[in-house]
Amino acid sequence: MRRALLFVTAFAALAAPAAAEAQTTLYGSIQGGVIALRDASGNPVTQVPSGTYTFQITDLDAIHNFHLETTAVDTPIEGTGVFTYTGVVLTQGTYTYLCDVHPDINGTLVVGAPPPPPPPATISGLSVRKVAGVRVVTITFRVARHATAKAQLRRPARAWASGHAHLMPGTRKLKVKVPARAPQGLYTLKITLTDLGTNAKTIRTRSVRLPRA
């Protein structure tokens, strides 16, 4: 009798449906022409890991809707209410949520690791000229964010000259004066950019051919 009871209990456990996986709920809203996406505490949500989510959308504007593109989260344009969407699978990438009638009302949700920010500056020009008999390497930057730039002229493993500058947004230049004893020929110019907002470093190298001193 005991064996039979154990068998029935085990069979019932196997036959019972698996418990539904808990899904994180994200709360969207559109009201007064303002669209938003928040967590359960009311904090704005801009980035989440990949996974399956529930979306609860409060749509209080009869002339707008809340649509998370490429998903089933899409409230009706006419009418208002609270709409719930379960089992929404989000894979890595950037999703846009918007009003289909007025697409300028929008926001973005990054799923997975956010992409790294672009470097604070890009190199837009490089030249070597003689100024009052001194060879000068001039690096021109197009600067997006405050940064510092360090440049080092090497050949082959020896540093012959260096320079540094604080870069403000806009077009900026860094000049490296080359000593007269540096022989002519091909050099490697190592440029290190440091983003002052994040302290992230970006390293670029360029080849520079120096004329005779």
What CATH number corresponds to the domain at position 166? 2.60.40.2550
Q: What is the CA radius of gyration of the chain?
A: 30
Using the predicted structure, report yes or no on whether residue 14 has a pLDDT greater than 50. Answer: no
Return all residues near 180 (Cβ < 8 A) that are at least 6 apart.
134, 213
Assess whether 101 and 157 both reside in one domain.
no
Lookup result for tokens 């604070």:
120
User: How many structural domains comprise the chain?
Assistant: 2
- Band (pLDDT 50/70/90 cuts) for residue 121 is very high
By three-state DSSP, how is residue 66 classified? coil
Assess whether 92 and 149 both reside in one domain.
no
Assess whether 48 and 101 both reside in one domain.
yes
Mean pLDDT of the chain: 90
Is residue 25 assigned to a domain? yes
Task: Round to whole Å and give the CA distance between 62 and 170.
Answer: 45
Is residue 70 assigned to a domain? yes
Q: Given its phi and psi angles, is residue 199 left (phi above 0), alpha (psi -120 to 50 degrees) or beta?
A: left
Assess whether 148 and 104 both reside in one domain.
no
- Band (pLDDT 50/70/90 cuts) for residue 117 is confident
Assess whether 101 and 156 both reside in one domain.
no
pLDDT, average across residues 114-124:
89
Is residue 2 assigned to a domain? no
Inter-residue contact 119 to 141 (CB < 8 Å): no
What CATH number corresponds to the domain at position 68? 2.60.40.420
Is residue 38 assigned to a domain? yes
Strand partners, 40: none
Assess whether 92 and 127 both reside in one domain.
no
What percentage of the chain exceeds 90 in pLDDT? 84
Return all residues near 170 (Cβ < 8 A) that are at least 6 apart.
143
Q: Domain limits at 80?
A: 19-111
Assess whether 134 and 203 both reside in one domain.
yes
The reported pLDDT for the residue numbered 8 is: 38
- Band (pLDDT 50/70/90 cuts) for residue 2 is very low
- Band (pLDDT 50/70/90 cuts) for residue 5 is very low
Task: Round to whole Å and give the CA distance between 177 and 201.
Answer: 24
Return all residues near 171 (Cβ < 8 A) that are at least 6 apart.
124, 140, 141, 142, 143
The reported pLDDT for the residue numbered 120 is: 96
The reported pLDDT for the residue numbered 21 is: 58
Amino acid, single-letter form, for residue 195: D
Whether the predicted model's global pTM rises above the 0.85 cut: no
Assess whether 129 and 70 both reside in one domain.
no
Instruction: Encode pLDDT of 145-200 as tens digits.
Output: 999 999 999 998 899 999 999 999 999 999 999 999 999 999 999 999 999 999 99
Residue 35 class from Cβ within 10 Å (0-12 exposed, 13-18 middle, 19+ buried)?
buried
Is residue 81 assigned to a domain? yes
67-68 and 81-90 strand pairing: unpaired
Assess whether 23 and 97 both reside in one domain.
yes
